[in-house]
Amino acid sequence: MDALLTTQIIGGPVPWILSVLSALFVLLLVLRRPSPRWMILAAAGILAGALIAFVFVVIADATGMFEIPLPAEVATWCIATFAAVGLAIVSLWKTRWRRRAIAIVGIAVFAITGTVQVNAVFGLNPTVGDLLGVVVRHPIKLPKAHATSSPTAGEPLAATWVAPHDMPTVGRVGTVTIPAPVSRFHARPAGLYLPPAALVKDAPALPLVIMMMGYPGTPNPDPISAVMNRFASQHEGLAPIVVVADQIGTGGDPACADSAARGDAATYVKTDVLDWAKSHLHIIQDPRYWVIAGYSNGATCAVKFAAQDPDAFRNVLSVSPEEYPGMHYSQTVIQSVYAGDRSAWAADKPEAILAAHTGSYSGVDAVITTGALDTAFGPATRSLAASATAAGMHVTLLTLPGVAHVGKNLADGLTAGFARLAPALGLAAPCNGCSEAAG
């Protein structure tokens, strides 16, 4: 089962194999003895399937069913998939059992192909397990942790670090189970990334990143580990240790909050995850070297948690956040997470928290990114960045060219964000002349 769940469905041979199989089944269904009746029936099935898909896409965009407008590639794959399924369905009538069998198998192949290709457009679920929301455990051995104070003043780690000759060229990735003694939150196993510098004898204490992914999604460390490996290759093996925490759990979106209905997700990340990292990982024991980070839903949580606990979270990296958690399904959030209390919901929005604590964010450095093509989340991201700035956070808003909310957004946002935060984390020389991109 693990072999199936860990099968790569973004890149690699699987999408190509499925596409070829789908094309083969279309040919098998189309190539039959021609007759006016069959040609009309086949055309009707194809057109009906395509029309149903088109109407679905229009309704999905109009109602915000998937939070963002569906990319053109998604619409194309949906229409192609439904058209092929329509052809298969009309092939079930008044035909031999062999053709019926081909049609039934074809329906499954078309559906799987469409799902895999749509997922590839979004680029967030690289394996079958990720697509199903299942975390496959890959236990990782933790290097010995011990308390380490912050680096000597004026001497960032990058200035004193000498990479040993036997240091690995890439980091190590796995999963860890983080107990929840305070929150009792039902979280899935967290992802963990250890950079090359963490894997050598007498490894230095390193900065900490607590990363949160989007909703729906899994705490998969692969996307950020790829970014961190590239970062480490440019910085003598140095990079932060990353914990990819599960702020979602298994009961629907907790909206970065504590609730009776969906668990104490906020306390889990802010207390249980942070306490575990401090006691189990060889990190610098100083909040100036910690980053709370996230993408989409997780990005909103990152800003909110920093707004609530600026003493613990001194650095923020927020890739395409919403203005507030569950922005596109707020009524569901109000009813489930806040038990219908609109006042409590409004007071718990990141912008409300920031406004209520204006002046409390001296020394908090936030990098917020948005895709230049992200029309669904871009305005909300800029609004949240403005609120954080008004409250006193030092905010760098980066607009990523040629990027929408999905696809390259996550990797590009993390790459740009960590490049900006690296000097503050002691992993690079100070960035002189860096300009902030206007939203």
**117 and 154: one domain?**
no
Number of domains in the chain: 2
List 399's β-bridge partners, or say none: 370
- pLDDT value of residue 145: 62
Is the Cα dihedral 417, 421, 425, 428 positive or negative? positive
**60 and 170: one domain?**
no
Q: Which helix (H) or strand (E) holds 190?
A: strand 190-194
Q: Does 112 reside within a domain?
A: yes
Q: Are 197 and 233 in contact (CB under 8 A)?
A: no
Q: Does 105 reside within a domain?
A: yes
**95 and 168: one domain?**
no
Give the domain-ending residue among 80, 95, 122: 122
pTM for the whole thing?
0.84
Q: Does 414 reside within a domain?
A: yes
Q: Does 54 reside within a domain?
A: yes
Q: In residues, how long is the chain?
A: 439
Q: Report DSSP state, residue 206.
A: B
**117 and 145: one domain?**
no
Q: Which helix (H) or strand (E) holds 300?
A: helix 297-308
Q: Are 166 and 200 in contact (CB under 8 A)?
A: yes
Q: Does 411 reside within a domain?
A: yes
Structural domain harbouring 386: 138-421
DSSP secondary structure string, 126-142?
A: -BHHHHHT-PPP-B-PP
**298 and 149: one domain?**
yes
**115 and 211: one domain?**
no
**143 and 115: one domain?**
no
- pLDDT value of residue 438: 41
Q: Where are the beta strands (DSSP E) in 301-410?
A: 315-319, 365-371, 394-400
**98 and 163: one domain?**
no
**117 and 206: one domain?**
no
**207 and 111: one domain?**
no
**116 and 172: one domain?**
no
CA geometry: angle at 324 spanning 318 and 326, to 5°?
Answer: 105
Q: Does 429 reside within a domain?
A: no
**281 and 374: one domain?**
yes
User: For residue 236, what is the domain's CATH number?
Assistant: 3.40.50.1820
Per-residue pLDDT of the chain (439 residues; tens, 9 = 90+): 667 777 877 777 999 999 999 999 999 998 877 788 888 889 999 999 999 999 999 998 787 666 567 778 889 999 999 999 999 999 988 778 888 999 999 999 999 999 999 888 777 677 787 777 776 677 788 877 665 556 655 578 989 999 999 999 999 999 999 999 999 999 999 999 999 999 999 999 999 999 999 888 889 999 999 999 999 999 999 999 999 999 999 888 999 999 999 999 999 999 999 999 999 999 999 999 999 999 999 999 999 999 999 999 999 999 999 999 888 788 889 999 999 999 999 999 999 999 999 999 999 999 999 999 988 889 999 999 999 999 999 999 999 999 888 878 999 999 999 999 999 999 987 765 554 444 4
Q: Are 258 and 265 in contact (CB under 8 A)?
A: yes
Q: Does 127 reside within a domain?
A: no
Q: Does 436 reside within a domain?
A: no
- pLDDT value of residue 154: 59
